[in-house]
Amino acid sequence: QSALTQPPSASGSPGQSVTISCTGTRSDVGGYNHVSWYQQRPGKAPKLMIYEVNKRPSGVPDRFSGSKSGNTASLTVSGLQADDEADYYCSSYTGNNNFPVVFGGGTELTVL
């Protein structure tokens, strides 16, 4: 199972919006509405930000939103804040019991 494809980096100024893409195949992103996004700060565990394409867990600001079109999912962070600077990883269900979830390689978000 190949990793999902994310741009290695993204950036934006405070207050701006930035969108991070996550490209898979019909066997993962395109085949299921089970895409998740995680935020990870250095030395810390991933934190769930979006699940099932566009749902936010309690406590995650509504500045974070998710969407999907075909084999590509996207995470949009609007009203960028310095605290949003982190690595972001997407993941998708694959329907394969022997490898049920595949992650992306990660995008480093820089707030300029």
Partner 1 sequence: EVQLVESGGGLVQPGGSLRLSCAASGFSLSDYWMHWVRQAPGKGPVWVSRLSSDGSLTFYADSVKGRFTISRDNAKNTLYLQMNNLRADDAAVYYCARGRGSVDSWYDAWGQGTPATVSS
Binding residues for partner 1, how many (CB under 8 A)? 28
Cα radius of gyration (the chain): 13
Q: Which residues of 43-82 are buried (b: 16+ CB within 10 A; e: fewer)?
A: eeebeebbbebbebeeebeeebbbebeebbbbbebbebee
Rounded CA-CA distance 28/10 in Å is 23
Sites for partner 1 among residues 62-101 (CB under 8 A): 89, 91-93, 95, 97-101
User: With binding defined as CB under 8 A, does residue 103 bind partner 1?
Assistant: yes
Residue of 29, 102, 109, 111 interacting with partner 1 (CB under 8 A)? 102
Residue of 51, 56, 72, 85 interacting with partner 1 (CB under 8 A)? 51
The number of helices, as runs of H, and strands, as runs of E, in the chain is: 0, 9
Residue of 105, 109, 110, 111 interacting with partner 1 (CB under 8 A)? 105
Find all residues with CB under 8 Å of 79, minimum gap 6, and list them: 15, 17, 63
Residue of 27, 34, 61, 67 interacting with partner 1 (CB under 8 A)? 34
Residue of 45, 62, 82, 83 interacting with partner 1 (CB under 8 A)? 45
- Contact positions toward partner 1, by CB under 8 A? 3, 32, 34, 36, 38, 44-48, 51-52, 57, 89, 91-93, 95, 97-106
